[in-house]
């Protein structure tokens, strides 16, 4: 029986080094507004970075570096995550392959990253907390310009970062910790969100606090609930 022996809690922040676009719904798009909006908290209207976007980018870049991309059957997707638990990416990020009795839960939890910058730094932005960037698509035959408006969170904005690594008794702890941090470094030299090849989405991660919580911590802390 596999036993959970500890949780390692990482807390820090994400700083945007260039404007970043992580798409949200355009259902409330107004006339004259951006053609492509960013994802926002519907209660506060503040942008955030979904944990799924961070974790998905961590895994895809890590698997590219490890060379463990697999052929899959997922609609129009031909290549996807490895399902082989011998691969480090599968041991860290988990697998879902019940046909071959090869399932393993993800060891990594990545929370949504809320905007933590103060409102004052956005006083000159076109939109609440964001900028509207004009891009132009050129028709290669007629040379006609087709402008579009892309909403971005501007460079300098900061988001809170929270990541949890579950360690089981059968795990190689140092291996998983190294892989998780390496995945974050790979994102720093790549991008997050859309249009990264055009300069969007360069970020920097900073971990300010690391805390290990064992079984004894939860037994003691349960008494405070």
- Which residue range is the domain that position 21 belongs to? 4-224
Q: Which has more confidence, 130 or 147?
A: 130
**Secondary structure class of 92 (helix, strand, coil):** helix
Are the beta carbons of 109 and 95 closer than 8 angstroms?
no
pLDDT at position 179 = 96
Q: What does the CA dihedral 174, 180, 181, 182 come to, rounded to 10 degrees?
A: 100
Q: Where are the beta strands (DSSP E) in 52-178?
A: 70-74, 77-80, 108-110, 113-114, 131-138, 145-152, 158-168
Q: Of 71-75, 94-98, 119-123, 167-171, which range is least confident?
A: 71-75
**Rounded CA Rg of the chain:** 20
- Give tens-digit pLDDT for 14-49: 999 999 998 865 555 454 555 688 999 999 999 999
Instruction: In whole angstroms, give the CA distance from residue 38 to residue 52.
Output: 15
Local confidence band at 122 (pLDDT 50, 70, 90 cut-offs): very high
Token output for 35: 């053609």
- Give tens-digit pLDDT for 96-120: 766 666 678 899 999 999 999 999 9
pLDDT at position 98 = 61
Q: Where are the beta strands (DSSP E) in the chain?
A: 4-16, 48-49, 70-74, 77-80, 108-110, 113-114, 131-138, 145-152, 158-168, 203-214
Dihedral pair phi/psi, residue 224, rounded to 5° = -90, -10
Q: What does the CA dihedral 187, 188, 191, 193 come to, rounded to 10 degrees?
A: 70
Instruction: In whole angstroms, give the CA distance from residue 23 to residue 15.
Output: 18
**Is the per-residue pLDDT at 128 higher than 80?**
yes
Half-sphere exposure of residue 139: CA atoms within 13 angstroms, side-chain side: 6
How many domains does the chain fold into?
A: 1
Quote the pTM value. 0.87
Tell me whether residue 222 is exposed, middle or buried, using C-beta atoms within 10 angstroms of its C-beta: 0 to 12, 13 to 18, 19 or more. exposed
- Give tens-digit pLDDT for 43-91: 999 999 999 999 999 999 999 999 888 777 666 767 778 788 888 998 9
> Please, which residues have CB within 8 angstroms of residue 121's CB and are 6 or more apart in sequence?
156, 157
């Amino acid at each position: 029986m596999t036993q959970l022996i500890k949780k390692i809690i990482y807390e820090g922040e994400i700083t945007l080094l260039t404007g970043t676009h992580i798409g949200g719904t355009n259902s409330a798009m107004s006339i004259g507004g951006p053609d492509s909006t960013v994802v926002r908290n519907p209660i506060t209207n503040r942008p955030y970075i979904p944990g799924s976007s961070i974790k998905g980018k961590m895994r895809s870049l890590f698997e590219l570096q490890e060379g463990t991309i697999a052929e899959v059957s997922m609609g129009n997707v031909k290549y996807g995550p490895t399902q082989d638990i011998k691969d480090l990416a599968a041991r860290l990020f988990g697998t879902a392959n019940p046909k071959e009795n090869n399932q393993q839960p993800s060891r990594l939890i990545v929370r949504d990253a809320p905007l933590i910058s103060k409102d004052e730094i956005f006083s000159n932005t076109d939109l609440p907390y964001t900028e509207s960037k004009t891009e132009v698509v050129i028709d290669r035959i007629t040379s006609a310009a087709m402008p579009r408006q892309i909403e971005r969170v501007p460079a300098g904005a900061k988001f809170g970062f929270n990541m949890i690594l579950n360690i089981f008794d059968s795990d190689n702890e140092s291996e998983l910790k190294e892989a998780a941090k390496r995945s974050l470094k790979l994102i720093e030299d790549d991008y997050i969100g859309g249009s990264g090849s055009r300069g969007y989405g360069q970020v920097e991660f900073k971990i300010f606090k690391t805390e290990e919580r064992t079984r004894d911590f939860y037994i003691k802390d349960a008494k405070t609930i």
